[in-house]
Amino acid sequence: MKDLLLSALVAGLMAVLTVPSAAQATEQQLPAAELNDDGIYSQPWFLDSFLDLRDDIAESASDGKGLVILWEQRGCPYCKETHQVNLRIPEIVDYIKTHFNVVQLNLWGDREVTDVDGEVTTEKKLARKYRVQFTPTMQFLPRTVAADNKIPGQDLEVWRLLGYWKPFHFLNSFVYVQSGGYRTEPNFQRWLQVRSDELRAQGKEVKLW
């Protein structure tokens, strides 16, 4: 229980410290997301899935993409911030759409989901199984999974993003996975510092803080 509370506190502090003001968002914004029937913001380009994660991984791989699970819940202010700030920036959305498919799941939802180990369950039970404790949480799954795989998704994920991250960090978490950076540098912050130095050397702007 202490570990759970500590994790939630750390995520909450990260979110408070990193939420940008509206003025910090890009001037050229995409249309604002709308609430769906569950009271959760959604994007029209999210994967229209039958919620069999094995099929979603295979479909994504056939398109040369990875699969990301985005966990949200009704009334989550940092989920809203993710949609109303990060996912209105064309550069971010274009990069995600090019390299990933995103499946949105409800932390308390009752829709039927098939895990990569073949277990048929519900969204809220899968959230507990995956130890998803707060929202937003993004899980990056591997590009391939064996047909007879019996390992649950949380033990196969290659990267997990917890809480709200400001645009630069958010975008580069996708770059981190797409480039395979997680394989050579398991510490994202160290990887990001190296990438930031490379971007500066190219004359590009870096907004770390």
| pLDDT of res. 206 | 87
**Antiparallel, parallel or unpaired: β 100-106 and 137-141:** unpaired
Of the candidates 98, 155, 107, 102, which has an alpha carbon nearest to the alpha carbon of residue 127?
107
- Residues 54-102 have pLDDT tens digits of 999 999 999 999 999 999 999 999 999 999 999 999 999 999 999 999 9
Helix (H) or strand (E) segment spanning residue 101:
strand 100-106
Contacts made by residues 90-94, CB under 8 angstroms, sequence distance 24+: 90/26, 90/28, 90/30, 91/26, 91/171, 92/167, 92/170, 92/171, 93/30, 93/43, 93/45
Q: Please tell me whether residue 136 adopts helix, strand or coil conformation.
A: coil
Cis before 90? omega within 30: no
Q: What is the mean pLDDT of residues 24-45?
A: 85
For domain 34-201, the CATH architecture is: 3-Layer(aba) Sandwich (3.40)
| pLDDT of res. 209 | 60
Cα(26)–Cα(207) distance, integer angstroms: 12
Angle between helices 90-99 and 167-178 (to 10 degrees): 20
- Residues 165-204 have pLDDT tens digits of 999 999 999 999 999 999 999 999 999 999 999 999 999 8
| pLDDT of res. 28 | 86
Q: Is the pLDDT of residue 24 over 50?
A: no
Q: Is the pLDDT of residue 15 over 50?
A: no
**Antiparallel, parallel or unpaired: β 112-114 and 120-122:** antiparallel
Q: Is the pLDDT of residue 26 over 90?
A: no
Which residue has tokens 């998704």? 153
| pLDDT of res. 27 | 55
